[in-house]
Amino acid sequence: MELLELNTASVLSGLAAVLLTAFIRLHWPFRYQYIGSLFRRKPEWLMRWLEVSYRKNRARSVALLDKSTHEIMSGNYEQAEQCIAKGLALCKESPTPFHQVMVHYLFYNLSTVYFYQGKYKDALEVAFRVFERDNGLLNALGVMICAYARMGDVQGAVELYQLLPQKRARIELRLFCLAEIAAAKGDYTKAIHYLRRLNGHHYFLSMHLRHEEIEKRISEWTKASSHIG
């Protein structure tokens, strides 16, 4: 009977085992994302691992999340939206704690899809819901800032930008938001300057930003600047 008696050591050991198991179960599905993040300077490697995740986890929601991220980074926004819809349906069918977390990331991806498609109001609404539930997801706040700027609400964009914690927010995210705000103010030279500073940074880790999207804005704002001049 003495063996069955609980003591501090056994309780702590049991608690540690439970926490370790929960940690592994929560993070293991994201192992390919973690591996991909090791190649921060090479987006093509990250995309390769996202594709591996889709092949290995095809029947799981994390596979659809990673596939949607891959499609966004490839510029295939309609395909990304389809993956997100499938992932959300899967989470709805099985509302486990893991899927409740997964829903936030799927909706964040949806907000970026809407933003790059030019559906700024939809992007703002979705990103707001995501950030409201998880204010640690700063990329969702970035979507909101840029969407406000694109809709011409400079004050709203600036006020939200001030919520970005300077030490925690990635420099790439801050530069991209500043570029969108500057363009909304009509200061296209400064906007282009901010985008140029993104070179050499891991911008694809912020709002799944693509090189093509950067060049698209530089071209757009260069033309706008010439008309003003």
Instruction: Give residue-wise pLDDT tens across range 50-61.
Output: 788 778 777 788
**Residue 65 token pair:** 């999340």
Helix (DSSP H) and strand (DSSP E) numbers for the chain: 12, 0
Asked if residue 29 lies in contact with residue 60, where contact means CB atoms within 8 angstroms, the answer is: yes
3-class SS of residue 165: coil
Tokens of 114: 């809407």
- Indicate the pTM of the whole model: 0.82
Per CATH, the homologous superfamily of domain 36-228 is Tetratricopeptide repeat domain (1.25.40.10)
Cβ(123)–Cβ(140) below 8 Å:
no
Residue 199's CB is within 10 A of a number of other CB atoms, namely: 9
Share of the chain above pLDDT 70, in %: 80
pLDDT in tens, 172-192: 999 999 999 999 999 999 999
